[in-house]
Structure 1
Amino acid sequence: MSKLDKEEQEILDIFDAGDLPRSLDFEESKTRHQQYAQAMFKKDARINIRLSSKDLRGLQKKALAEGMPYQTLIASILHKYVEGRLHEEL
């Protein structure tokens, strides 16, 4: 187990004791983030694409390692790319 600094240990102790206070706008923030999640995962379009067998097998292996269906992994990759959060490593 990694060692925690004093501040991290204090936070963990407060959390374990159940004394960690919620933010003042917890309910509003929770509702807003639920709406974000619903909008993000709404799937209302269907596409067909052709991939090489090798690429499909690679995607299926990565999805299995992540514990998700490969179609979900593909949708996630595409979403991250469109949002500008997926970048090629050089």
Structure 2
Amino acid sequence: MRLEDVPSFPTYPGDQLHVRYGEGIFVGYCGYDHMKRDVAFPFGHGLSYTDFNYRDLHVTTAGEGIDVTVSNTGACDGREVVQDDSRQGRRR
């Protein structure tokens, strides 16, 4: 949400051309989770270079999961993937 929310903010840009990676194992989303900070675009947000139509969905079973067919209505080629965000107790 703000530059100050980034896990590496306290130690970046470093001193005399030396960067200290002070966030340790808490890089990326692990850092935001550890610091209990919100992000502008959460996992599975759906940023893409194209658009998809979610009307008249065709749903079939696929092993232990499901397949959902959607239409790409944008100008660019693209794929849409449903991602499981189990830690939040919901699917996207």
TM-score, length basis structure 1: 0.25
Name whichever structure is richer in helix by fraction: 1
